């Protein structure tokens, strides 16, 4: 099949890896962001955690990277909105969007269920992990209202306030696009269809991805939304090259998640192999409908992997 020419590729900045490696050197973040823009990629993204998986703060990092760059978009993949007060979140994200001249995408997730470390993070910050999804939905409603209106009052299950105006508003019309995360889980797919501007996931099979995208579009139509306004995304972790690169990638993920690589690969999309094999897998997902792909490199030399990936994507016609 022909290559989809409207696909966009983003790179995950290694905000946790700099903690795991003990490198107190900002250039390890800045160099990757600079090269990502220079090589023609669409965006850079950052993950989020406070204590469960210690890393650089997501929005602070995007603000710093936004000051160095001019074109690439700045996204979270994903941000744990339920850990933050929604009024404060609206202000922080709106500020980063204003500073970056309208380049922010807010991807929101919820942590994996029944993970003791991640549940502990919610409790440390004063929240019930069992309510995190409902809290996140309410946060989306609140921050959108604060971005679009002044003198806002709201009474909900988790937040209640009167006469609040948040400035600066985001530069982007109607506010920052909000992406929601969901794998092959029916309530999550329905949530994306109802509320999201974009869909993030790490579904491990292209066929299942395609089926989920079809469901989202059907649910969106049922909800009275145009299904085509929801951007189909994908988050994947890759290590490509020879056997040494693959072993390094597997070890990288074992250290990152503190569990065997095989368990991680069952839970999320990890692509390991030659560059040809990795590109074949990426193409399978673009043929299934993925349009914005966030790539995380399981490698110690992130810049080298970035440049090799750019070359391979260019050969396939994805990057020009």
Domain CATH code at residue 285: 3.20.20.30
- By the 10 Å C-beta count (0-12 exposed, 13-18 middle, 19+ buried), 251 is classed as middle
Whether residue 258 lies inside any domain: the answer is yes
Over residues 95-121, the mean pLDDT reads 95
Per-residue pLDDT, 113: 82
Whether residue 13 lies inside any domain: the answer is yes
Of residues 43 and 1, more confidently modeled: 43
Over residues 142-155, the mean pLDDT reads 98
Q: How confident is the model at residue 114 (pLDDT cuts 50, 70, 90)?
A: confident
pLDDT digits (tens, 9 = 90+) for 242-288: 999 999 999 999 999 989 999 999 999 999 999 999 999 999 999 99
Over residues 217-237, the mean pLDDT reads 98
Over residues 91-95, the mean pLDDT reads 98
Per-residue pLDDT, 21: 87
Q: Which of 114-118, 131-135, 185-189 shows the lowest per-residue confidence on average (mean pLDDT)?
A: 114-118
CB 129 within 8 A of CB 118: yes
Residue 101 CA, chain-centre distance (Å), reads: 20
Whether residue 1 lies inside any domain: the answer is no
Of residues 27 and 187, more confidently modeled: 187
How many C-beta atoms lie closer than 10 Å to residue 35's C-beta? 16
Whether residue 127 lies inside any domain: the answer is yes
Range of the domain at 121: 8-315
Which pTM value belongs to this model? Answer: 0.97
Residue 2 pLDDT > 60 = no
CB 51 within 8 A of CB 57: no
Q: What percent of the chain has pLDDT over 70?
A: 98
Whether residue 2 lies inside any domain: the answer is no
Average pLDDT value for the chain: 96
pLDDT digits (tens, 9 = 90+) for 159-216: 999 999 999 999 999 999 999 999 999 999 999 999 999 999 999 999 999 999 999 9
- By the 10 Å C-beta count (0-12 exposed, 13-18 middle, 19+ buried), 199 is classed as buried
Residue 140 pLDDT > 50 = yes
Whether residue 3 lies inside any domain: the answer is no
Q: How many domains does the chain have?
A: 1
Q: How confident is the model at residue 3 (pLDDT cuts 50, 70, 90)?
A: low
Residue 1 pLDDT > 60 = no
Per-residue pLDDT, 24: 79
Over residues 212-229, the mean pLDDT reads 98
CA distances from 100 to 33, 139, 175, 177 (A): 14, 23, 13, 14
Whole-angstrom Cα Rg for the chain: 19
Whether residue 132 lies inside any domain: the answer is yes
Per-residue pLDDT, 133: 97
Q: How confident is the model at residue 53 (pLDDT cuts 50, 70, 90)?
A: very high
Closest by CA to 216, choosing from 202, 200, 235, is 200
In whole angstroms, give the CA distance from residue 204 to residue 183: 9
Whether residue 320 lies inside any domain: the answer is no
């Amino acid at each position: 099949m022909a290559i989809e020419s409207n696909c966009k590729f983003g790179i995950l900045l290694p905000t946790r890896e700099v903690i795991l490696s003990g490198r107190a050197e900002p250039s390890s973040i800045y160099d990757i962001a600079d090269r990502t823009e220079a090589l023609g990629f669409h965006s850079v993204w950052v993950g989020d955690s406070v204590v469960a998986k210690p890393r650089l703060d997501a929005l602070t990092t995007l603000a710093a990277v936004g000051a160095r760059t001019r074109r690439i978009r700045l996204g979270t993949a994903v941000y744990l909105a339920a850990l933050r007060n929604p009024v404060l979140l609206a202000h922080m994200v709106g500020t980063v969007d204003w500073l970056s001249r309208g380049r922010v995408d807010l991807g929101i997730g919820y942590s994996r269920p029944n993970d003791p470390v991640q549940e502990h993070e919610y409790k440390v910050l004063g929240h019930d992990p069992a309510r995190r999804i409902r809290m996140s939905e309410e946060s989306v409603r609140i921050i959108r209202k604060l971005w679009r209106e002044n003198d806002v009052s709201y009474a909900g299950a988790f937040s209640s306030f009167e006469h609040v105006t948040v400035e600066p508003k985001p530069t982007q019309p109607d506010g920052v696009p909000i992406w929601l995360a969901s794998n092959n889980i029916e309530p999550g797919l329905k949530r994306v269809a109802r509320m999201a501007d974009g869909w993030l996931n790490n579904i491990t099979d292209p066929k299942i991805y395609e089926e989920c995208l079809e469901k989202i579009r059907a649910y969106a139509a049922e909800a009275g939304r145009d299904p085509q306004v929801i951007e189909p995304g994908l988050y994947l972790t890759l290590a490509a090259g020879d056997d040494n690169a693959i072993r390094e990638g597997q070890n990288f993920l074992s250290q990152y998640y503190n569990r065997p690589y095989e368990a991680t690969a069952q839970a999320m999309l990890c692509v390991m192999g030659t560059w040809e094999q990795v590109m074949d897998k990426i193409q399978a997902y673009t043929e299934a409908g993925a349009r914005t792909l966030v790539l995380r490199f399981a490698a110690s030399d992130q810049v080298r992997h970035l440049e090799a990936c750019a070359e391979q994507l260019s050969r396939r016609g994805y990057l020009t």
